[in-house]
Amino acid sequence: MAKPKEQNFLHGAVILTAGVIITKILGAIYKIPLGNILGDDGYAYFYSAYSVYNVFLTMTTAGLPVAMSRMVAEAHEQGHYMQVRRTFSVSWWTFLVIGFISACIMFLFPQNLANLLDRPEAAASIYTIAPGILFVCVVSAYRGYCQGHKNMTPTTIGQVIEVLVKVIVGLALAIFFVRQGRTVEIACSGATFGVTAGGFAVLIYMYLYKRRNYHDPDREECTDTPMSSSDTLKRLLSIGIPITIGSSGMSLISLIDTKFINNRLQMAAGFSPHDSAVLFGVFSKAQTLYNLPAAFVTPLVISIVPSIAAYMVVKDYKNAGKTSEDALRITLDICMPMGIGLAVLAAPIMDTLYHGSHSSGPRLLAIMGLASFFVCFSLVQNAILQAHGNEKLTIVSLFTGGLIKITVDWFLVAIPSINIYGAPIGTILCYAVICIMNHIFIRKHYEYKPSLARIVPKPLVSSLIMGAFALGSYYLIRLVIRGESRLETLICMLFCVAVAVVVYVIAVVQTRAITKEDMSLIPKGDKIARYLHLKSAE
């Protein structure tokens, strides 16, 4: 069967990460101007609609694509090509039906969904974003198929196309409606329609990519007899539903938490509806930045599931365990410096990107920056558990952490002196508990047990050194550039980021947080290793 060249898990993750970098740049072009155009209150409406969309998106695409990629990887590793074909066919129709039902719910009941969040102004945005769910669901079938073949290239290109169209269409419509003097609610709906347009564009691309690069095998060429469609569907659901419950459960908890935050700010802490919207709006802006490290770790999450599953199906437990530990270690290499960087440079980052926003923004981002590496670590832990067939355990940890978050937020947000700061504190506690529980599950159930002593210290030391230099360089350059304008703050921030990058690269080389063996797994990695004088792991 003709197919593009497969990639190892880190090679595939690098390809996906390249896409993440591009999409995040495009996303910044979309969300940062949008936050400034709509204001804090308007961005609260936009983010509320996006929260509803994310719940449906998670429910429909969080578990089944992972299950599909795992099934495709297992069948392909065993040479069962007819089963690969059957898995794709069953999955495609399943995604279509689920996407259609979800889109209809959002399209027919936007006001009801908006009222659930105490944000009735978000109804128009929910209405225009609804068709995007259908498109993204069907796209997930194509992505899962390619990822099951350890080919991450179409996913990356598709993400870039999706975000590029979203930026062009969404931002253009938002600006157009504002200039026409339309209400902020209509401007928000224009912005969210960009998501729908992007989903349609990537669907066309993924369909054409599969048609041109993957050809169904002839029955005469295959020796395997595939499972029936009903049995294939049962296995898809048996793997995917627990993953979906866990992931959508956290999204649902976050949605409930959003309602509680708004309610507690007004009813318990004594803020007016407008002031609570402003606080939640600036919290939402900080959340956009806090999600950045997770976006760079998601490629690893996507890439390791089919890789570990392929090892497990042939009972190669040693390589499955080594891949798991490598993924956890590389995750911390990526997310720890980003999280600490967000924390120590929170003030210039918020002032540069969201100049004029509420003064609580920097402190919110500082707290959430520290929470971000717990989020990232838990994402990879979940993927490891899912790849090993223990997806039900992720439900236990996710719901435990989610309930802790709701409880903490309920009490802390109601305290006037804490107010919105209670939300990120709840996030830290939530994901710290998830990480602890997942680590216990992994240590208990697997023969090759990842060691925190081998995973944590080196990236932690490197990141702390980087954070100290970043903060120190900021105060030093402020002695030279004393102005407080947006441009002067931007110059200071870029200087600090440059210092942080250089210091971190030196630190990871000296501490061997990244090794010569790691670099050999990525394209041109051997040349980079020689240039940086990387050493082998001890």
Considering the chain, what is the average pLDDT of its residues?
82
Does the CA dihedral 399-400-402-406 come out positive or negative? positive
Mean pLDDT of the region 274-297: 82
Mean pLDDT of the region 266-270: 82
Predicted pLDDT at 203: 95
Mean pLDDT of the region 356-361: 82
Q: What's the CA gap between 442 and 444, in Å, rounded?
A: 5
Direct distance between the N- and C-terminal alpha carbons of the chain, in angstroms, rounded to an integer: 42
Predicted pLDDT at 216: 67
Q: What's the CA gap between 331 and 325, in Å, rounded?
A: 10
Predicted pLDDT at 448: 75
Confirm if 30 and 109 have CB atoms less than 8 A apart.
no
Q: What's the CA gap between 378 and 385, in Å, rounded?
A: 10
At residue 361, what is the residue type? G
Q: Report the share of the chain in percent with pLDDT over 90.
A: 20
Mean pLDDT of the region 484-497: 85
Mean pLDDT of the region 291-306: 77
Residue pLDDT, tens place only, 391-412: 788 889 988 998 898 899 889 9
Highest mean pLDDT among 161-170, 371-380, 463-472: 463-472
Crossing angle (nearest 10°) for helices 457-480 and 486-511: 150
Residue 490 scores a pLDDT above 60: yes
Confirm if 378 and 300 have CB atoms less than 8 A apart.
no
Residue 8 scores a pLDDT above 60: no
Which has more confidence, 292 or 374?
374
Q: Which residue has the tokens 């090509």?
A: 81
Predicted pLDDT at 2: 45
Predicted pLDDT at 205: 95
Among residues 143, 4, 7, 117, which one has the least CA distance to residue 62?
Answer: 143
**Cα Dmax for the chain:** 75
Q: What residues contact residue 75 under an 8 Å CB cut-off, 6+ apart?
A: 81, 83, 84, 87, 224
Tokens of 419: 């107010």
Q: Which residue has the tokens 């392929």?
A: 310
Predicted pLDDT at 249: 64
Residue 264 scores a pLDDT above 80: yes
Predicted pLDDT at 1: 43
Mean pLDDT of the region 482-491: 81
Confirm if 144 and 68 have CB atoms less than 8 A apart.
yes
Predicted pLDDT at 105: 92
Predicted pLDDT at 517: 63
Confirm if 386 and 333 have CB atoms less than 8 A apart.
no
Q: What's the CA gap between 412 and 414, in Å, rounded?
A: 5
Tokens of 162: 């999706």
Predicted pLDDT at 437: 95
DSSP structural state of residue 362:
H
Q: What residues contact residue 537 under an 8 Å CB cut-off, 6+ apart?
A: 512, 515, 516, 517
Confirm if 447 and 321 have CB atoms less than 8 A apart.
yes
DSSP structural state of residue 6:
P
Residue 313 scores a pLDDT above 70: yes
- What torsion do the CA atoms of 328, 329, 330, 333 make, to the nearest 10 degrees? 120
Residue 340 scores a pLDDT above 80: yes
Q: What's the CA gap between 431 and 398, in Å, rounded?
A: 8
Residue pLDDT, tens place only, 59-96: 777 777 878 888 888 888 778 888 888 999 999 999 99
Predicted pLDDT at 221: 62
